[in-house]
Amino acid sequence: MKLEGRVRLPGFLLALRFLALVLWSFPGARALDNGLAMTPTMGWLHWERFMCNVDCQEEPDSCISEKLFMQMAELMESDGWKDVGYEYLCIDDCWMAPKRDSEGRLQADPKRFPRGIRHLADYVHSKGLKLGIYADVGNKTCAGFPGSFGHYDIDAKTFADWGVDLLKFDGCYCDSVEHLEKGYKRMSLALNRTGRSIVYSCEWPLYVWPFRKPNYTEIRQYCNHWRNFEDVYDSWQSVKSILAWTSFNQKRIVDVAGPGGWNDPDMLVIGNFGLSWDQQVTQMALWAIMAAPLLMSNDLRHISPQAKALLQDKDVIAINQDPLGKQGYRLRKEDNIEVWERPLSDLAWAVAMVNLQEMGGPRFHTISIASLGQGLACIPDCMITQLLPEKRKLGFYQWTSDLKTKINPTGTVLLRLAAT
């Protein structure tokens, strides 16, 4: 039910909205005190798209090399990625030489990174971007390169000396949960001691979950974001499983997220091969609702205009980067339709409706406005704007109204509800 005019706000409703603002602004668990990642990290990470391709002779354009990262840096600057917030260009596994140098320091593979990481960092910085790098808490990285166990201080200093701005710290080849947890803490402290601002991306809870429930309050005190679930793949089944895990565990993980520390559902695979258009819309919309780091893993040299426009959608990015810093959650699921919502600053809300049905055509779904935003999103009315799959104003809606939407199979309708 659209409204052409505005309704005067009764005093008790105004009080309710003020109370909601106070409650949503209340800080959560104490975060890592390095002043970084006050909104979710945005950038590009090589792993899902390029994996551990080290064969530069046969595949010079897609191997893990200085050339690849310099090309991506050029495109992040020239093609508008940096301008909308994608700031970190991140190296994942397989950048290292097989052995440390004579002084015990990590070193880049001399053939694939002939001028070293310091040179690459300088180049990335010259583009107005920041450089991320990868290491592992255990004896070896997941791909078998030298791990940081027993070398936390020297590795942190090496990364700082190189001008690194983010560390993704994996958890392979660690002989016990105790060593793994101590290692994550030690590297966090070592990074801070360098005096350089380095975002700390952990996989701590991912490796603890098989043994016990992670202590997220503690993890947040050491990490800027943390992986909880298995690697994303370029498939709908993978994206769907991440969403299912997140909603199943949301009571444990949602409240701990906030400025300085975020749950990380892994990379955006938009612009690759495995997702339909509607599924790409779903990933972008739900990563925004979840206040997730937006780390693309795709080939920016060969990305469709449609995928580029989705990844650079300023309205959706604004939801992801909202300064209130509250992670969204699944509100309900019924008949293969999920409704997710997220509180935003200025008493606004983001709402995503996902059609998980994989057969048939688009489905209509009707929802009561009063059920959204814990009953406070539209008191007494609000302006609703659809952001995805395409932007259009839906108009003013009363608290007592219903909203009817049409959702494609495996697709999502993303809405912004603004208090009036």
Largest CA distance in the chain: 75
Encode burial over 81-96: b for 16+ CB neighbours within 10 A, e otherwise.
bbebbbbbbbbbbbbb
- Bridge partners (DSSP) listed for residue 167: 133, 200
Alpha carbons 384 and 414: distance in angstroms, whole number: 10
Alpha carbons 44 and 50: distance in angstroms, whole number: 12
Active-site entry in 153, 231, 255, 315 = 231
Q: Which of 396, 264, 246 is nearest to 333 (CA)?
A: 246
Active-site entry in 170, 234, 322, 381 = 170
Q: How many residues does the chain have?
A: 420
231 is catalytic: yes
Cβ 88 vs Cβ 132: under 8 Å: yes
Cβ 262 vs Cβ 291: under 8 Å: yes
Which amino acid, 360?
G
Query: Could you give the 3-state DSSP secondary structure of residue 75?
Result: helix
234 is catalytic: no
Interhelix angle 152-162/116-126, rounded to 10 degrees, is 50
Pair of tokens at residue 268: 């955006």
CA angle 46, 352, 199 (to 5 degrees): 35
Q: Does residue 380 have a cis peptide bond before it, meaning omega lies within 30 degrees of 0?
A: yes
Q: Tell me the backbone φ, ψ of residue 266, rounded to 5 degrees.
A: 90, -175
Interhelix angle 177-193/152-162, rounded to 10 degrees, is 40
Q: What residues act catalytically? A: 170, 231
